[in-house]
């Protein structure tokens, strides 16, 4: 199994609105003054030097911002992580790159603090039923996870405990971070940014709603209980509260662990197929999906007895439900891409409001071609693919395809960037999930054509809540 990493601990998180806002305001004033000084002195530099110096200043500002957010912990760090994932259309690349480093923080809270929180939530009578390991097996920005054993039957549990005061600080923290970005001159406020910020707020409140997370986890478990390739922990509602989620402890390796990477390619391929089919089932059948692409949300359990290798699915705090109004044009675009119908792909992009009918025809066609290229691993067998992306048997080599690089190159070489508008926030989350699934399959080193899997969903009724193979 993956070894525990040593973690630093803290005895408290600054959750008081005044205390946190004061820290962020001081940071914003300092950063804003530094940026103003830089802009004034940069006026006299050559154009080339101005651009280089500005990039360097953005990097310094972004790192300073990350350092300040990291010290405050709690929802501020989670807000930064969410902005790193979904803020590429609003924030400079230097900022999103720096914010991604927040994902590496492993600071946890001291056991005495967590134990008091567990006792307050569960009560002394319920707490005495459990033997809890004081050393956390996982620590994140909003809470940490402790392994526990139920004394009556030896059942292994995971207790996900939210840090004290975090839920109450979400709104004030989000406002403070937004103001810090503005004061540091790292973002321009406007209607699109405000709408995106509101979506971040909704996501954050969903992340700290542990009751809903427990219910969602159990719902997904029931939906997938007949699929031997996937495992969802069982929720123990008797130990769940507003700030604790209790589930069965499910063992497994990280996807990059040697035990997984050394598996024969056919076994890694079956895991990749399961991941792709799960994504398509979420999209085409259920209309809701886990949108956090963090690899920490997945484990691989190696084959045991009659059971195949399985993917263990963890953390359902970021599940996004989609309306049929949004999903219909998305599905239409996927079907049109599969059928090589460029005009229908363009109509779907226009319906989703990130393409406009008044754009020049060559731009619309180029944009449509880029959208179709994304479907390359799932394309029909008669659609040409690069030789290096296929093995000797003609199967798609996800790891060696270089698809993300080729798509990015294709987009930047066109006139798309001059016309591209910010896509709907729902599409941003969906795109992140798709990229996450592709990356997961690539890291597995799976080799298979996605065509037969996609066809099951394109041409089969999706009226029922489950899809029988």
SS (H, E, C) 190-234: CHHHHHHHHHHHHHHHHHCCHHHHHHHHHHHHHHHCCCCCEECCC
- What is d(CA 113, CA 115) in angstroms, rounded to the nearest whole number? 6
Q: Is the pLDDT of residue 48 over 60?
A: no
Q: What is the pLDDT of residue 418?
A: 64
Which regions of 96-142 does DSSP assign to beta strands (E)? 108-109, 130-132, 138-139
Confidence of residue 415 (pLDDT cuts 50, 70, 90): low
- What is d(CA 164, CA 243) in angstroms, rounded to the nearest whole number? 9
- What is d(CA 115, CA 134) in angstroms, rounded to the nearest whole number? 8
H-helix or E-strand spanning residue 245: strand 244-248
Q: Is-contact 333 348, C-beta < 8 A?
A: yes
- What is d(CA 65, CA 98) in angstroms, rounded to the nearest whole number? 8
- What is d(CA 61, CA 407) in angstroms, rounded to the nearest whole number? 30
Percent of the chain predicted with pLDDT > 70: 72
- What is d(CA 79, CA 143) in angstroms, rounded to the nearest whole number? 14
| Lowest mean pLDDT across 41-50, 192-201, 275-284, 438-447 | 41-50
Q: What is the pLDDT of residue 266?
A: 97
Q: What is the pLDDT of residue 280?
A: 96
- What is d(CA 26, CA 183) in angstroms, rounded to the nearest whole number? 10
Q: Is-contact 202 284, C-beta < 8 A?
A: no
Q: Is the pLDDT of residue 234 over 60?
A: yes
Residue bearing tokens 């995106």: 196
The residue among 58 and 375 whose pLDDT is bigger is 375
Q: Is the pLDDT of residue 27 over 60?
A: no
Q: What is the pLDDT of residue 61?
A: 63
What tokens appear for 166 in the block? 């975090």
Confidence of residue 188 (pLDDT cuts 50, 70, 90): low
Q: Is the pLDDT of residue 17 over 60?
A: no
Confidence of residue 427 (pLDDT cuts 50, 70, 90): confident
- What is d(CA 181, CA 453) in angstroms, rounded to the nearest whole number? 43
Q: What is the largest CA-CA distance in the chain?
A: 75
- What is d(CA 320, CA 287) in angstroms, rounded to the nearest whole number? 9
Q: How many CB atoms lie within 10 A of CB 225?
A: 13
Mean pLDDT on 103-111: 71
């Amino acid at each position: 199994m993956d070894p525990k990493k040593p973690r630093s601990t803290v005895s408290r998180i600054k959750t008081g609105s005044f205390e946190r806002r004061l820290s962020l305001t001081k940071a914003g004033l300092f950063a804003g003054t530094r940026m103003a000084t830089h802009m004034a002195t940069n006026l006299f530099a050559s154009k080339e030097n101005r651009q280089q110096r500005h990039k360097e200043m953005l990097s310094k500002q972004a790192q300073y911002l990350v350092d300040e957010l990291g010290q405050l912990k709690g929802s501020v760090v989670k807000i930064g992580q969410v902005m790193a994932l979904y803020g590429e259309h609003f924030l400079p690349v230097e900022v999103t790159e720096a914010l991604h480093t927040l994902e590496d923080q492993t600071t946890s809270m001291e056991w005495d603090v967590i134990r008091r929180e567990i006792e307050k939530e569960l009560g002394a009578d319920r707490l005495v039923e459990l033997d809890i390991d004081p050393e956390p097996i996982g620590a994140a920005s909003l809470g940490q996870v402790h392994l526990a054993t139920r004394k009556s039957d030896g059942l292994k549990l995971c207790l996900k405990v939210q840090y004290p005061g975090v839920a109450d600080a979400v709104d004030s923290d989000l406002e403070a971070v937004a103001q810090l970005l503005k004061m540091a001159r790292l973002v321009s406020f406007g209607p699109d940014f405000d709408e995106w910020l509101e979506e971040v707020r909704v996501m954050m409140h969903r992340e700290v709603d542990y009751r809903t997370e427990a219910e969602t986890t159990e719902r997904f478990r029931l939906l997938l209980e007949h699929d031997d390739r996937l495992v969802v922990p069982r929720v123990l509602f008797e130990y769940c509260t507003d700030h604790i989620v209790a589930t069965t402890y499910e063992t497994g390796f990280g996807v990059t662990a040697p035990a997984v990477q050394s598996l024969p390619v056919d076994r890694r391929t079956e895991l990749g197929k399961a991941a792709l089919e799960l994504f398509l089932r979420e999209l085409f059948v259920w209309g809701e999906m886990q949108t956090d692409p963090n690899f920490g949300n997945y484990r691989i359990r190696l084959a045991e007895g009659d059971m195949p290798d399985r993917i263990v699915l963890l953390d359902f705090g970021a599940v996004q439900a989609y309306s049929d109004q949004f999903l219909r044009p998305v599905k239409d675009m996927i079907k049109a891409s599969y059928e090589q119908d460029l005009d229908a792909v363009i109509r779907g992009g226009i319906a989703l409001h990130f393409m406009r009918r008044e754009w020049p025809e060559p731009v619309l066609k180029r944009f449509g071609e880029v959208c179709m290229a994304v479907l390359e691993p799932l394309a029909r067998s008669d659609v040409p693919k690069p030789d290096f992306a296929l093995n000797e048997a003609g199967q798609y080599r996800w790891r060696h395809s270089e698809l993300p690089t080729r798509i990015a190159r294709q987009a930047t070489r066109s006139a798309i960037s001059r016309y591209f508008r910010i896509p709907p926030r729902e599409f941003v989350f969906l795109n992140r999930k798709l990229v996450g699934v592709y990356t997961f399959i690539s890291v597995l080193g799976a080799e298979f054509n996605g065509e037969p899997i996609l066809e099951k969903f394109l041409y089969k009724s999706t009226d029922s809540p489950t899809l029988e193979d």
